[in-house]
Structures are given as structure tokens and as C-alpha cells.
Amino acid sequence: MPRASLEIGGEAPTDVVEGVLPRRRIGVLLRIAALPVIFAILFFALDGAATLAALGQADIGLVLIALTIVQLQFLLSALRWRFTAQRLGLPLPFRRALSEYYVAGFLNQTLPGGVAGDAARAYRNRAADANGRLGWRASLRSVVLERAAGQIAFFSVAIAGLAAWPFLVPTSAPDGVEALVAAPIVVLFVLSAIIALVAARAPRIIRSAFAELGPDLRRAFLDHGAWWRQAGMSLAIVGGYVAVFAVCGAALGSPIPAMGWFTVIPMVLLAMVLPVSIGGWGVREGAAVALFPLVAVDASTALAIAILYGIVNLVGALPGLALVVRRRTKPLVQRSLAGAPQP
């Protein structure tokens, strides 16, 4: 496999694609192959022509507003990561945090699993210790805790929406929605038990890494009022996800009722968390088709809204691709200039 450096700043060499792409290519190929099948089924089962017509008539002004919200999400996410990293003693300039987050966002939307970009930014931002050796622990923990803050806020909103469902939506929630919300919580408890077991019986180097987790959690989320800053930024980011969906509905001439903002949209977004697709494509559309009719949005329009949401987020992350291309071409230009005859 050809190597591709995605280094955005610093001196450490990176072979990101080699490091983050899955080794089991069959699973990746299956996910890629499943996308056209899923969309073919959805278009065949619904009015595919109406979906395409709705997309073709999208209000460009509202689409631009949705794109602007996506950029604000990147800004807030970079601020949250910078805040978390600084709480752990890892210096992270905002400009670097923002550029790295754009790259991570683009990779997460275009590579399977949804975490490749986070692994890449943790690797690229390794910090040097007192002896000048590059260490990955602080960088990795800053990324993990920053993402954890976002997931906690997201699942809090999803749980609140599920609790409010009987009071806001006249139709009861479909079977399986409760399991969709509960599954990640169960996984969290299982992982916590595994971590506790590993921390007690693992080799010393692993035990020391886990021993640092508790103090890091306290510094990142509790000390000096960190919790309200983490909560404020994370809830604003989750609100941005919901707002983009709502604006996409308005752009297609089918505004999503306010009751759907707090109930259905978080459930559709929750389906995207499942690591069974690339960038949530297919899963998001299927969930939208199943859930949006419960708040008086027909299935064909729901499919169009979900597709537009995916397009808006992908276009919003394109600065990450531009940064990757710029970093890869800059050394070529420098070598070319170095070899040019001097006047």
C-alpha cells in the first residue's frame, strides 16, 4: 500500500493511512458494497424520483446556513480539544487544533469505523518528554477524553429525548429504540469493568497508563470548574448537529416539527454511531426513513433530508482534504525550487 503523509504541523513523520486503515479489507469492501445496495432498496421502496426532485430544489441560502453551522461545530470541537489537552498539560495552539480537527473530520467521514481521524490526530500530536522522546500517552488521552465529553453530551440529549417522547410525539417510539440508546451504556459499563481488571493484573507499563487515567479525568472534567465548560461546548456541538438536520429539512421545503428536533433527530444521529458504515451513510438514511414519518415527514422527503445532511457535512469537512493535499504538495514544491537554477 502506498504511504501517504497527512502531517499538518510539527516535525514528527506520519504514515497515517497505513496506521489507521483496517487490516481486514473484506469488512471494508463489504461496507462499501453495501452502500449502493442500501440506497437502491430505499429508492425502490420509496418514491426515488420525488427524493431526487426535492434535492434538486434545495434552497441554496439555507444550505449555506447549514454549512456555516458545520464550520462552527469544527471551531467548537477544536476549542474543546485544546481545552482538554491543556488541562492534561499538553500544549496545543488553537490554529493547530482546528487544522487537525478538520483533517480528522474528513477522515472520519471517508474511512470505515468513524475513528480513523481521531487516531491520526492523536498520533500526529505526540508530545516530547523531558528526554526529548516522543510519547503518545498524553496526546491519546486528550483525544479520548475530548471525544468522551462529546459522547456523554450526545447520549444525554438522546436519553432526554427518549424520555420526552411520550409527551411530545403522538406516536409511540418504534421497538428497538430503547435498545439503541441502552446498548452504548451497557458497553461503557463492560469496558469500565475490563479496564478495572486490566489495571489490576496487566504488566506494569499498562497499569501505569491506566493509573494516570483517574487524575486525567479529574483534571479534564472536574478541577477548577472544568465540567461546565466541557458541558457547554459539548451541548452546543450536539445542538449544531440537530440544527443542521433542521435547516436541511427547511431547505427542502419540509420543515421538521419542533417535537422532532428533541426526539427523532437525536435517534437518527444515534444510528450513525454504529460502526457498520462509512460516515454514517446508509444507516442514517434508513433511520430517517423509519423515524421521520412519526413526526409527519413523509419517507421520501426524510430520505432527501438525510442525504442532504450527509452532503452538507462532507462538504463542510473538505478543508481537511485541502490541508492534506497542501501538506503533501508543499515538500514537492520546495524540492523543485531547491533544484531550480539560481539567478
| pLDDT tens track for 280-308 | 888 898 899 989 999 989 999 999 999 99
Range from 176-185, 187-196, 222-231 that averages highest in pLDDT: 222-231
Whether residue 125 is contained in a domain is answered as yes
193 assigned to some structural domain = yes
Q: What is the mean pLDDT of residues 98-102?
A: 94
- Between 73-77, 185-189, 221-225, the lowest mean confidence (pLDDT) is in 185-189
Determine, yes or no, domain membership for 62: yes
- Whose CA is closest to 198, among 188, 189, 183, 208? 208
Higher pLDDT pick, 80 / 31: 80
Q: Mind listing the pLDDT tens digit for each residue in 313-335? A: 999 999 998 888 876 665 443 44
Which residues 6+ apart lie within 8 Å of 93 measured at CB? Answer: 82
Going by pLDDT thresholds of 50, 70 and 90, the confidence category of residue 237 is very high
| pLDDT of 20 | 42
Instruction: Please give the C-alpha separations between residue 32 and each of 29, 113, 261, 279, 305, in angstroms, as whole numbers.
Output: 5, 12, 30, 11, 22
Domain assignment of residue 293, yes or no: yes
Residue 201 confidence (pLDDT)? 64
Average pLDDT of the residues of the chain: 78
pTM for this entry: 0.79
Q: Write down the pLDDT at residue 234.
A: 96
Confidence class for position 176, pLDDT limits 50, 70, 90: low
What cell was used for 52? 431526487
* Residue 27: inside a domain: no
Tens-place pLDDT, residues 120-136? 888 888 764 444 444 57
| Mean local confidence (pLDDT), 161-171 | 84
In a domain, 42, yes or no: no
Q: Does residue 46 lie in a domain region?
A: no
Does residue 162 lie in a domain region? yes
Average pLDDT, integer, range 173-195: 65
Q: Which of 159, 122, 176 is nearest to 291 (CA)?
A: 176
Q: Which of 51-65, 78-92, 197-211, 242-256 is the least confident region?
A: 197-211
For residue range 37-48, list pLDDT tens digits in order.
777 777 777 777
**164 lies in which domain range?**
52-326
Q: Which of 106, 128, 149 is nearest to 238 (CA)?
A: 149
Domain total for the chain? Answer: 1
Mean predicted confidence (pLDDT) in 222-235: 91
pLDDT score of 222 more than 80: yes
